[in-house]
């Protein structure tokens, strides 16, 4: 009963939500903006009145300028209030955004926990081992299928390489012979000059004469 009398027995009233606070701030901004426009209109009218009565009625002109100053002061106060409200609204919007983000992260964390609830790390490791084993088996099967069979499997590759080297050497020797034959002088096929033929006939006559003299 004592707590109830002192107000301690009642639960603390919950404050307004972020959405409610933002709504109130926006309403206040709208109201102050309208008042700001109203004061700007009043200032313009007082200025025109002061100009109009500047020479005709100086007292009225001075009163108009005083009122203009008063309106300008109120306008400055409203400008400062709007700046404060804008800052507060942006801070509340950021706080509201952070709250929503935290709520989303909390829901995601609970969903992840629920998803992992029925998972056993040992079972996961066994499953991954089975998957790797099946992949290795599939690779072995692919290798076996792609391996050529039949002709050529019993041929020694070293013998084929040796035979290829012999063929290359023969081709090289043949090319060298062709090059050497092109450099040798060719046998002349044209008939000998007539002077050489005459000299040969004279030599034969001398031999005949010598043979006759000796006999």
- Report all structural domains of the chain as residue ranges with CATH numbers, in order of start: 17-116 (1.10.287.1060)
Residue 147 DSSP symbol? S
Q: What are the pLDDT digits (tens) for 77-127?
A: 999 999 999 999 999 889 888 988 999 999 999 888 888 887 778 888 888
pLDDT at residue 207 in the model: 66
Q: How far from 89 is each of 31, 58, 93, 99, 213, CA to CA, in Å?
A: 15, 46, 6, 15, 153
Q: Count the helices and strands in the chain (H runs, E runs).
A: 6, 0
pLDDT at residue 198 in the model: 65
> Phi/psi of residue 187, each to 5°?
-75, 130
Q: What are the pLDDT digits (tens) for 121-179?
A: 888 888 888 899 999 999 989 888 887 665 555 667 788 788 888 888 888 888 888 87
Nearest CA to 20 out of 114, 89, 111, 102 is that of 89
Q: What are the pLDDT digits (tens) for 36-81?
A: 999 999 999 999 999 988 888 889 899 999 999 999 999 999 999 9
The C-alpha angle with vertex 151 and arms to 146 and 157, in degrees rounded to 5, equals 90
Burial 189-199 (b: 16+ CB within 10 A, else e): eeeeeeeeeee
Distance CA 110, CA 104 (A): 10
What is the greatest pairwise CA distance in the chain?
A: 184
**pTM of the predicted model, to two decimals?**
0.44
Is 102 in a helix, a strand, or coil?
helix
Q: What is the CA radius of gyration of the chain?
A: 60
Task: Count CB-CB contacts under 10 A for residue 81.
Answer: 15
Per-residue pLDDT at 2 exceeds 50 = no
């Amino acid at each position: 009963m004592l707590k109830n009398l002192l107000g301690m027995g009642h639960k603390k009233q919950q404050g307004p939500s972020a959405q409610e606070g933002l709504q109130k701030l926006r309403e206040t901004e709208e109201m102050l903006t309208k008042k700001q426009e109203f004061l700007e209109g009043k200032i313009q009218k007082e200025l025109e009145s002061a100009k109009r009565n500047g020479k005709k009625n100086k007292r009225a002109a001075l009163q108009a300028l005083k009122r203009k100053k008063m309106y300008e002061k109120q306008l400055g106060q409203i400008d400062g209030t709007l700046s404060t409200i804008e800052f507060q609204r942006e801070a509340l919007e950021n706080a509201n955004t952070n709250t929503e983000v935290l709520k989303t992260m909390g829901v995601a964390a609970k969903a992840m926990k629920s998803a992992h609830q029925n998972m056993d790390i040992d079972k996961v490791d066994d499953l991954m081992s089975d998957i790797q084993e099946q992949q290795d088996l599939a690779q072995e099967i692919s290798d076996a299928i792609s391996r050529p069979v039949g002709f050529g499997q019993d041929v020694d590759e070293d013998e084929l390489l040796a035979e290829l080297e012999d063929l290359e050497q023969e081709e090289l020797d043949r090319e060298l012979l062709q090059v050497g034959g092109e450099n040798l002088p060719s046998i002349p096929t044209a008939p000998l000059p007539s002077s050489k033929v005459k000299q040969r006939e004279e030599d034969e006559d001398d031999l005949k004469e010598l043979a006759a003299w000796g006999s």
